[in-house]
Chain A
Amino acid sequence: MTNRIACLLCLLLLPLALSARNVDLATVPERRTVQLTIYNSEDLTLVRESRVVTFKKGVNPLQFSWANTLIDPTSVELKFRTPQTGLEMLDTTFPHDKPQALYWSVQSDADREATIEISYFTSGISWAADYLAIADIDEKTLRLESFVRVTNLSGEDYESAQVRLVVGAINLVEKIAELAKLPVGRLDELKREEYKDLRQRAARKMMAPAAPAPMMAMEMAVGAAADMDAPKEIIKEGLSEYFIYTIEGTETVPNGWAKRLRSFEADAVPMGVEYRYRPREYGDQLTRLYLLKNDTASKLGSTPLPDGVIQIFRANATDGQAGLSYLATQHLQYVPMGDKIELNLGVDRLVVFEQVKQKVYRDNLWFQIKGGNLYRKLGEDGLKLELDSQVAGWDEHTVYRQRIRNYSPKPIHAQIRRDYAGDIVFRSQLNPTLHDFQTVQFEADIPAGGKAELDYAVIARMGYNQKQNRVELQNGEAGR
Chain B
Amino acid sequence: MNRTRLFYPLGVLLLLSAGPLDALARIKLTTLPVRERVQIHLDHPQATLVEEERIVPLVKGVNQVDFSWANTRIDPDTLVLRMLPPPADQPLDAKVLSVSYPPNENALIWSVSASASGAARVRISYVLGGLSKDFHYRAVADRDEKTLELAQYLRVNNHANEAYDLARLQTGVGVGFDKPLGLNETREVQTHRFAGVPVRKTYTSDPVKFGYLDRAQDKLNVPMHYVIKNAGSPLGTAALPEGKARIFQDDGQGGSAFLGEDRGPFTPPDDELELYLGLARDIVVRRTIDRNERQRIAGNLYRYDVTVKYEIENFKDTPATLNIVESVRQIRDQIKGNPDRDPEWRLGDGTLRNPDPEKSDADQLLFHVDLPARPAGGPAPKQTQTLRLTLNNEW
Please give the residue numbers on chain A whose beta carbons come within 8 Å of chain B beta carbons, in ascending order. Answer: 1, 130, 132, 149, 151, 225, 227-232, 252, 254-262, 309, 311, 313, 316, 320, 323-327, 329, 349-350, 352, 356-362, 365, 367, 378, 383, 385-391, 394, 396, 398-399, 405, 407
Q: Which of B1-43 contact A (CB under 8 A)?
A: 1, 20-22, 39, 41, 43
B48 closest partner in A (C-beta): A326
> Is the beta-carbon distance between B1 and A254 smaller than 8 angstroms?
yes
Bound Cα distance from A230 to B61, whole angstroms: 10
Chain A residues lying within 8 Å of B369, measured Cβ to Cβ, are: none
For the complex of A and B, the 9 pairs showing the least CB-CB separation, nearest first, are: A256-B103, A389-B299, A229-B113, A258-B101, A326-B49, A260-B99, A360-B342, A357-B362, A362-B393
Would you give the shortest CB distance from B270 to chain A, in whole angstroms? Answer: 7
Set A230, A255, A313, A398: member contacting B113, Cβ < 8 A: A230
What are 22 A-B residue pairs whose CB atoms fall within 8 Å in the complex? A228-B93, A229-B61, A229-B113, A254-B22, A256-B102, A257-B101, A259-B100, A320-B84, A323-B41, A323-B51, A325-B43, A325-B44, A326-B41, A326-B78, A350-B239, A350-B268, A356-B361, A361-B393, A385-B298, A385-B299, A405-B270, A407-B268
- Quote the shortest CB–CB distance from B260 to chain A (angstroms): 27
Of the candidates B44, B49, B102, B296, which one forms a contact with A385 in the assembled complex, judged by CB atoms under 8 Å apart? B296
- Residues of A near B244 (CB, < 8 A) are none
> Are B43 and A231 touching (Cβ within 8 A)?
no
Do the beta carbons of B96 and A262 come within 8 Å of each other? yes
* Chain B residues with CB below 8 A from A229, complex form: 61-62, 95, 97, 113
Residues of the B chain whose Cβ atoms lie less than 8 Å from the Cβ of A227:
115
In the bound complex, residues from chain A placing their C-beta under 8 Å from that of B269 are: 407
Contact across chains for A361 and B344 when beta carbons are under 8 A apart: yes
Check if B98 is an interface residue, CB within 8 A of chain A.
yes
Q: B365-395, CB under 8 A of A: which get 1 and which 0?
A: 0000000000000000000000000001101
**Given A352-B271, A398-B342, A388 and B299 contact (CB-CB distance below 8 Å):** yes
Nearest-neighbour CB distance to chain A for B125, whole angstroms, equals 6
Task: Write out the residue numbers on chain A whose beta carbons fall within 8 Å of the beta carbon of B21.
Answer: 252, 254, 257
A108 to chain B, nearest CB (A): 36
Q: How far is the CA of A316 from the CA of B44 in the complex (A)?
A: 13
Q: A260-B101, A386-B299 are in contact. List 14 more A-B contacts (CB 8 A).
A: A252-B21, A255-B103, A256-B102, A260-B98, A325-B172, A357-B361, A362-B392, A378-B297, A383-B298, A385-B298, A390-B299, A391-B301, A391-B395, A405-B270
Distance between A151 CB and nearest chain B CB, rounded to angstroms: 8
**A359 CA to B343 CA in the complex, in Å?**
9
Decide if B239 touches A258 in the complex (CB within 8 Å): no
When the two chains form their complex, are residues A358 and B362 in contact, meaning their CB atoms are under 8 A apart? yes
**In the complex, how many angstroms separate the beta carbon of B94 from the nearest chain A beta carbon?**
9
Q: Tell me, in angstroms, the Cα distance from A231 to B342 when the chains sit together.
A: 65
A349 near B266 (CB under 8 angstroms)?
yes
Whether the pair A261, B98 counts as a contact (CB closer than 8 A) is yes
- CB of B298 within 8 A of CB of A232, answer no
By the criterion CB–CB under 8 Å, are A352 and B268 in contact? yes
A385 to B298, CA, bound (A): 5
Q: Are A228 and B78 in contact (CB under 8 A)?
A: no
Q: Which residue of chain B is the closest to A147 with respect to CB atoms?
A: B99
The reply to whether A259 and B1 contact each other, CB–CB distance below 8 Å, is no
Per-position contact with A for B261-278: 1 when CB-CB < 8 Å, else 0?
000001011110000000
A324 to B124, CA, bound (A): 11
CB nearest to B270 among chain A residues:
A405
| Contact in complex: B1, A256 (CB < 8 Å) | yes
Q: Would you call A252 and B20 a contact (CB within 8 A)?
A: yes
Report if B341 contacts A (CB, 8 A). Answer: yes
Q: Residue of A at shortest CB range from B242? A: A349
The answer to whether A323 and B362 touch (CB under 8 A), given A360-B342, A361-B392, is no
Within 8 A of A (CB), among B289-323: 296-301
B127 neighbours in A (Cβ, 8 Å): 326
Q: Which of A309, A326, A390 contacts B44 (CB 8 A)?
A: A326
Q: Contact between B239 and A407 (Cβ–Cβ < 8 Å)? A: yes
A466 to chain B, nearest CB (A): 15
For residue A378, which residue of chain B has the nearest CB?
A: B298
Instruction: With both chains docked as a complex, state the minimum distance between the C-beta of A179 and any C-beta of chain B, in angstroms.
Output: 25
Contact B98 A358 (CB under 8 A): no
CB of A389 within 8 A of CB of B62, answer no
User: Which residues from chain B contact A350 at a C-beta distance below 8 Å?
Assistant: 239, 268
Residue of A nearest to B111 (CB): A229
A391 touches B300 (CB 8 A): yes
Hey, which chain A residues are within 8 Å of B362, CB to CB?
357-360, 398-399
If A252-B22, A324-B41, A367-B299 touch, does A231 touch B98 (CB 8 Å cutoff)?
yes
The chain A residue sitting closest to B102, CB to CB, is A257
CB atoms of B266 and A362 under 8 A apart? no
CA distance A230 to B20 in the complex (A): 16
